[in-house]
């Protein structure tokens, strides 16, 4: 389980860092709170943070539910792909939002795999009970 705990903590830390970068961008581009629009570069940082939050809502429960049905090392490996994918997503979205596809895929597909692993595992447990 320590690998899953580490992946969870890194995902939370990554989200916090993205939040900090949004705060920094807010100052750099002169977007005063509570506004979330006004400068395109600020909006890119903001969208990365919000999309990461949207992904976390799926990723974290899927990570832990899948771990109940698949070796923790495989689940943690998918978590590493997710974390690296978020970095790729961040870098590509800031540079050119049209090129965010690979980063999105590297976070979306591991999450979908984790969801299906958990779903199949739960279905198997229900059938076997």
Q: What is the pLDDT of residues 4-43, one digit of tens each?
A: 999 999 999 999 999 999 999 999 999 999 999 999 999 9
Asked whether residue 56 is domain-assigned, the answer is yes
CATH number at residue 26: 1.20.120.550
Asked whether residue 26 is domain-assigned, the answer is yes
Q: What is the pLDDT of residues 51-110, one digit of tens each?
A: 999 999 999 999 999 999 999 999 999 999 999 999 999 999 999 999 999 999 999 999
Asked whether residue 7 is domain-assigned, the answer is yes
Cis peptide before 34 (omega within 30 of 0): yes
Q: Is the pTM of this model over 0.75?
A: yes
Q: Residues 6 or more apart from 48 whose CB is under 8 A from it? A: 18, 21, 22, 89, 90, 93, 94
Asked whether residue 128 is domain-assigned, the answer is no
Asked whether residue 129 is domain-assigned, the answer is no
For residue 36 the two structure tokens come to 């979330």
**Size of the chain, expressed as the number of residues it contains:** 129
Asked whether residue 127 is domain-assigned, the answer is no
| Number of folded domains that form the chain | 1
Asked whether residue 52 is domain-assigned, the answer is yes
Percent of the chain with pLDDT over 70: 100
| Residue 92 lies in domain | 2-122
Question: Are 97 and 40 spatial neighbours (Cβ–Cβ below 8 Å)?
Answer: no
Alpha helices in the chain (DSSP H): 2-28, 40-67, 72-95, 101-128
Asked whether residue 35 is domain-assigned, the answer is yes
């Amino acid at each position: 389980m320590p690998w899953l705990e580490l992946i969870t903590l890194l995902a939370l830390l990554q989200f916090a860092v993205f939040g900090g970068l949004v705060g920094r961008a807010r100052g750099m581009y002169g977007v005063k709170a509570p506004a979330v629009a006004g400068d395109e570069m600020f909006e890119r940082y903001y969208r990365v943070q919000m999309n990461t939050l949207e992904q976390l809502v799926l990723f974290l429960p899927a990570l832990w539910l899948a771990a109940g049905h698949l070796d923790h090392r495989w689940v943690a490996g998918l978590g590493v792909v997710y974390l690296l994918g978020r970095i790729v997503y961040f870098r590509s979205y800031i540079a050119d939002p049209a090129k965010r596809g690979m980063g999105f895929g590297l976070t979306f597909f591991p999450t979908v795999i984790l969801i299906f692993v958990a779903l199949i595992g739960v279905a198997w447990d229900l059938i076997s009970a």
